């Protein structure tokens, strides 16, 4: 085929592919247009998961009769004029592509009336070509109905996901925009049933309650705005983070409940999502993710929104500063407001109250997160110089290390009463009963002890009276050989001793009471997990593993003296409420709860 210029129609279909990937993209673009038009009420009507119909009606500015055709031309926009405007975009749209793209791949009807006009204009477009135009009576605002999406691009149509999947995507967009624009009334219906609506009262909590339910919403923690300190640089002060985060025990197996808005635009950003997750470090069980709805506001010239046709990916001028700001905001909120695990889990009829200490310290924050960072860049065992942190992650962790509040008493003084099930220690405190999980508590104690030693660069190593020889499978032996210096820094003195065999001369003091061979095997197992993990992560994991294997197990009977020592050590911990993996170490049963359970109130 000779080289030739594509027909206009084909070119617009190709271009449309980038903007309109699926029915939910239509919803997104039309809702964004309505928001840009200053709508206070937006009604989204969907049929067949958006394949049959997507209709968005708004009461915004409207489009004048003279300009309405123009809105459907490629690169036609009222939101941008000069190159300079592109540097500081404050509207959701600006590329002038959406209406052109949507109309190129559907049958579209628009009715719009601007404020000055007596009536509205109705246009019909098929595959981007106008097929009719008339003047009609209409309220001020715009209604756009998109039918038979992709009717003229069969390839696209074939690749559409199932109707339920498309519906879910649409729900996701609409609920997210309802959160970011709580002062706009949204109404969404699928196949003639209203599935979601908000009042437009401006109260984000109300919208959250529509999405997550009133019960869950009550537990969410509102992000406290940062009081700018004297040292805060201007750029730091210019970033404002608000919104809500969930308490640690509200968690999911994926990160889809972390929602980020930058200047009112919903964005996807792995780094900022990670900033939120990292603020929960060790508070959550492995593989679980928190809830976060964060509104980030910053000068528009700090963000480049013109990276991707769908505009959900953006670029920041100072990603590290932003990462730090987000992480600090979340952590600050958790530190100030995170409740201790209460006995709610076992209350059959509910009603166990949460025990909320005055200044809960975010568990593990001063622990693992910082240690991961230190492990990462100190590399003592290599005798390397301390080097500056490299990326946003460690920079943020570094900044964060500075401003943890001085610890106050985090647990009440407790008196040991006894042990139950050879697993839990029963204690009495000033307000009722505490049950302590002996394994989790001991893990926490050992973990903090190990960290303290690590921080002072003197992990206590205990020599063995008789060196123990351990034989490993070849692959593990090679792995161990490679990691001997690392293990030495953690307190394991190990030497090669014949083929696949090693001699253990000393072990970290925290595992001194364990079978050294078992301790080493546990560590090697961890080395094996994940083929080329980051060094810092391996070390942090090994520390966790060592503490886990050294901690007393459930099923072990403890003497009173042992229990008292453990409870006292727990009381002295920085973050006594959870084990390093984020599970609770203790639960509280208050006198009031007891009274309620016994029907005394």
By the criterion CB under 6 A, which residues form the site for ligand ADP?
29, 33-34, 37, 58, 60-63, 71, 76-79, 93-100, 142
The span from the CA of 508 to the CA of 510, in Å, is 5
Report which of 295, 213, 289, 280 is spatially closest to residue 250, judged by C-alpha positions. Answer: 289
Q: Min. distance of Cβ 92 from ligand ADP in angstroms?
A: 7
Q: Min. distance of Cβ 65 from ligand ADP in angstroms?
A: 13
Report which of 307, 328, 291, 368 is spatially closest to residue 539, judged by C-alpha positions. Answer: 368
Residue with tokens 């060196």: 467
Among Mg ion, ligand ADP, none, the one that 37 touches (CB under a kind-dependent 5 to 8 A) is ligand ADP
Q: State which residue, 120 or 582, has the beta carbon closest to ligand ADP.
A: 120
98 forms part of the interface with Mg ion (CB under 5 A): yes
With CB atoms as reference, the residue minimizing the distance to ligand ADP is 93
Instruction: Decide: 221 and 333 in contact? Cβ < 8 Å.
Output: yes
What's 584's DSSP letter? Answer: B
Q: State which residue, 56 or 322, has the beta carbon closest to ligand ADP.
A: 56
Among Mg ion, ligand ADP, none, the one that 12 touches (CB under a kind-dependent 5 to 8 A) is none
Among Mg ion, ligand ADP, none, the one that 484 touches (CB under a kind-dependent 5 to 8 A) is none
Q: Min. distance of Cβ 94 from ligand ADP in angstroms?
A: 5
Among Mg ion, ligand ADP, none, the one that 57 touches (CB under a kind-dependent 5 to 8 A) is none
Among Mg ion, ligand ADP, none, the one that 77 touches (CB under a kind-dependent 5 to 8 A) is ligand ADP
Q: Which of 62, 93, 120, 127 binds Mg ion (CB under 5 A)?
A: 93
Tokens of 308: 């991707």
Q: Min. distance of Cβ 109 from Mg ion in angstroms?
A: 17
549 forms part of the interface with Mg ion (CB under 5 A): no
Among Mg ion, ligand ADP, none, the one that 96 touches (CB under a kind-dependent 5 to 8 A) is ligand ADP
User: What's the CA angle centered on 500, arms 498 and 505, to 5 degrees?
Assistant: 65
Segments of 330-460 assigned E as strands: 415-420, 424-429, 432-437
Among Mg ion, ligand ADP, none, the one that 535 touches (CB under a kind-dependent 5 to 8 A) is none
Q: Min. distance of Cβ 77 from ligand ADP in angstroms?
A: 3
User: What's the CA angle centered on 184, arms 297 and 301, to 5 degrees?
Assistant: 25
Instruction: Decide: 103 and 131 in contact? Cβ < 8 Å.
Output: no
Q: Min. distance of Cβ 91 from ligand ADP in angstroms?
A: 7
Q: Min. distance of Cβ 284 from Mg ion in angstroms?
A: 38
Rg (CA), the chain: 30
Q: State which residue, 39 or 470, has the beta carbon closest to Mg ion.
A: 39
With CB atoms as reference, the residue minimizing the distance to Mg ion is 93
Please, which residues bridge with residue 54 across strands? Answer: 46, 146
Q: State which residue, 307 or 534, has the beta carbon closest to ligand ADP.
A: 307
Q: Min. distance of Cβ 549 from Mg ion in angstroms?
A: 57
Q: State which residue, 61 or 543, has the beta carbon closest to ligand ADP.
A: 61
Helix (H) or strand (E) holding 529: none
Q: State which residue, 93 or 127, has the beta carbon closest to ligand ADP.
A: 93
- The two most distant CA atoms of the chain are separated, in Å, by 97
Q: Min. distance of Cβ 299 from ligand ADP in angstroms?
A: 21
Q: Which of residues 17-36 bind Mg ion (CB under 5 A)?
A: 33
Q: State which residue, 56 or 277, has the beta carbon closest to ligand ADP.
A: 56
Per-residue b/e over 450-465, b at no fewer than 16 CB within 10 Å?
bbebbeeeebebbeee
- Within 8 A by CB and 6+ apart from 82, the residues are none
The span from the CA of 424 to the CA of 412, in Å, is 18
Segment interacting with Mg ion, rule: CB under 5 A, options 2-10, 87-95, 222-230, 566-574: 87-95
> Distances in Å between the alpha carbon of 488 and those of 370, 483, 485, 491, 536?
20, 9, 5, 5, 15
Instruction: Decide: 550 and 305 in contact? Cβ < 8 Å.
Output: no
Q: Min. distance of Cβ 92 from Mg ion in angstroms?
A: 7
Please, which residues bridge with residue 124 across strands? Answer: 109, 132
Q: State which residue, 93 or 392, has the beta carbon closest to Mg ion.
A: 93
Q: Which of residues 254-313 bind Mg ion (CB under 5 A)?
A: none
334 forms part of the interface with Mg ion (CB under 5 A): no
- Within 8 A by CB and 6+ apart from 485, the residues are 381, 382
Interface contacts to Mg ion, rule CB under 5 A: 33, 93, 98
């Amino acid at each position: 085929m000779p080289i030739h210029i594509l027909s206009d129609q084909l070119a617009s279909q190709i271009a449309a592919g980038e903007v309109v990937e699926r029915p939910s993209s239509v919803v997104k673009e039309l809702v964004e247009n309505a928001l840009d038009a200053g709508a206070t009420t937006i009604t989204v009507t969907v049929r067949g998961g958006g394949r049959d119909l997507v209709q968005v009606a708004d009461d915004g500015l409207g489009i004048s009769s003279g300009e309405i055709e123009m809105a459907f031309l490629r690169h036609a926009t009222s939101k941008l004029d000069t190159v300079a405007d592109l540097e500081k975009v404050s509207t959701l749209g600006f590329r002038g592509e959406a209406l052109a793209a949507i109309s190129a791949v559907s049958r579209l009807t628009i009715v719009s009336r601007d404020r000055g006009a007596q009536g509205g204009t109705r246009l019909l477009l098929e595959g981007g070509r106008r097929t009719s135009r008339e003047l009609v009576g209409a309220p001020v605002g715009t209604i756009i109905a998109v039918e038979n999406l992709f009717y003229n691009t069969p390839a696209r149509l074939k690749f559409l996901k199932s109707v339920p999947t498309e519906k879910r995507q649409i729900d996701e967009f609409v609920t997210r925009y309802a959160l970011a624009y709580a002062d706009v009334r949204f109404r969404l219906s699928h196949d003639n049933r209203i599935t979601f609506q908000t009042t437009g009262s401006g109260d984000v909590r109300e919208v959250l309650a529509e999405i997550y339910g009133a019960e869950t919403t009550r537990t969410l923690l509102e992000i406290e705005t940062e009081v700018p300190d004297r040292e805060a640089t201007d750029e730091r002060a210019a970033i404002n983070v608000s919104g809500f985060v969930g308490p640690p025990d509200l968690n999911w197996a994926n990160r889809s409940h972390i929602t980020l808005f930058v200047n009112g635009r919903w964005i996807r950003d792995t780094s900022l999502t990670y900033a939120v997750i990292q603020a929960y470090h060790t508070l959550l069980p492995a593989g679980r993710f928190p809830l976060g709805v964060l509104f980030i506001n910053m000068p528009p010239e700090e963000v480049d929104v013109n990276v991707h046709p769908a505009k959900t990916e953006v670029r920041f001028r100072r990603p590290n500063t932003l990462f730090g700001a987000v992480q600090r905001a979340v952590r600050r909120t958790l530190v100030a407001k995170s409740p201790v695990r209460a006995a709610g889990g076992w209350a059959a009829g509910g009603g166990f109250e949460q025990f909320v200490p005055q200044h809960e310290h975010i568990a593990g924050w001063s622990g693992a997160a910082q240690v991961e960072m230190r492990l990462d860049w100190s590399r003592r065992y290599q005798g390397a110089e301390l080097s500056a942190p490299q990326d946003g992650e460690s920079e943020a962790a570094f900044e964060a290390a500075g401003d943890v509040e001085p610890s106050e008493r985090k647990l009440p003084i407790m008196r040991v009463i006894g042990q139950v099930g050879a697993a839990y220690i029963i204690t009495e405190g000033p307000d009722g009963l505490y049950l302590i999980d002996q394994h989790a508590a001991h893990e926490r104690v050992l973990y903090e002890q190990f960290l303290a030693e690590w921080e002072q660069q003197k992990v206590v190593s205990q020599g063995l009276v008789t060196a123990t020889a351990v034989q490993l499978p070849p692959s593990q032996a090679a792995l161990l050989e490679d990691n001997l210096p690392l293990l030495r820094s953690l307190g394991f003195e190990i030497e090669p001793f014949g083929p696949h065999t090693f001699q253990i001369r000393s072990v970290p003091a925290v595992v001194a009471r364990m079978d050294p061979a078992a301790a080493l095997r546990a560590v090697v197992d961890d080395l094996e997990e994940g083929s080329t993990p980051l060094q810092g992560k391996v070390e942090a994991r090994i520390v966790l593993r060592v503490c886990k294997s050294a901690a007393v197990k459930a099923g072990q009977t403890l003497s009173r003296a042992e229990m008292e020592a453990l409870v006292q050590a727990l009381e002295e911990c920085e973050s006594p409420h959870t084990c390093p993996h984020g599970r609770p170490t203790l639960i509280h049963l208050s006198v009031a709860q007891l009274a309620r359970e016994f029907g005394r109130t």
